[in-house]
Amino acid sequence: AQSVAQPEDQVNVAEGNPLTVKCTYSVSGNPYLFWYVQYPNRGLQFLLKYITGDNLVKGSYGFEAEFNKSQTSFHLKKPSALVSDSALYFCAVRDMYSWGKLQFGAGTQVVVTP
């Protein structure tokens, strides 16, 4: 069975500082990994995905994520956080045997203070 863990309920960071949101996963076979962001009163927006290839994936709004197979992690990063990055972030995984069903983590609330 596939599962995703986001160990932090909330991450607080000052504007301009680096932002990291952690995600670890468990899946059979090769994982397909995704990050989504939810702004207040909005749906989930796709940020980036890892399917295969380069372990460092670049996505929207200056975000990137690094796939680490040995640590089964897919942490989301941004070098310099903005107040507008304050939102709820979800990590999701799909295993290679599933058509499209995503397994999500519980979400991490990011708060960026001016």
Partner 1 sequence: EAGVTQFPSHSVIEKGQTVTLRCDPISGHDNLYWYRRVMGKEIKFLLHFVKESKQDESGMPNNRFLAERTGGTYSTLKVQPAELEDSGVYFCASSQDQIKRDHNEQFFGPGTRLTVL
For partner 1, the binding residues (CB under 8 A) are 4, 32, 34, 36, 41-46, 49, 51, 90, 92, 94, 98-107
Rg for the chain (alpha carbons), in Å? 13
Nearer to partner 1, 58 or 101 (CB): 101
Residue placing its CB nearer to partner 1 in the complex, 17 or 28: 28
Q: How far is the CB of 84 from partner 1 (least distance, A)?
A: 19
Least distance in angstroms from the C-beta of 36 to partner 1? 7
Q: Which is nearer to partner 1, 17 or 55 (CB)?
A: 55
Beta carbon of residue 17, minimum distance to partner 1 (angstroms, whole number) = 26
User: How many angstroms separate the Cα of 110 from the Cα of each of 33, 41, 53, 79?
Assistant: 20, 16, 28, 14
* 112 contacts 62 by C-beta, under 8 angstroms: no
In a 3-state reduction of DSSP, which class is residue 84? helix
Give counts: helices (H), strands (E), the chain: 0, 12
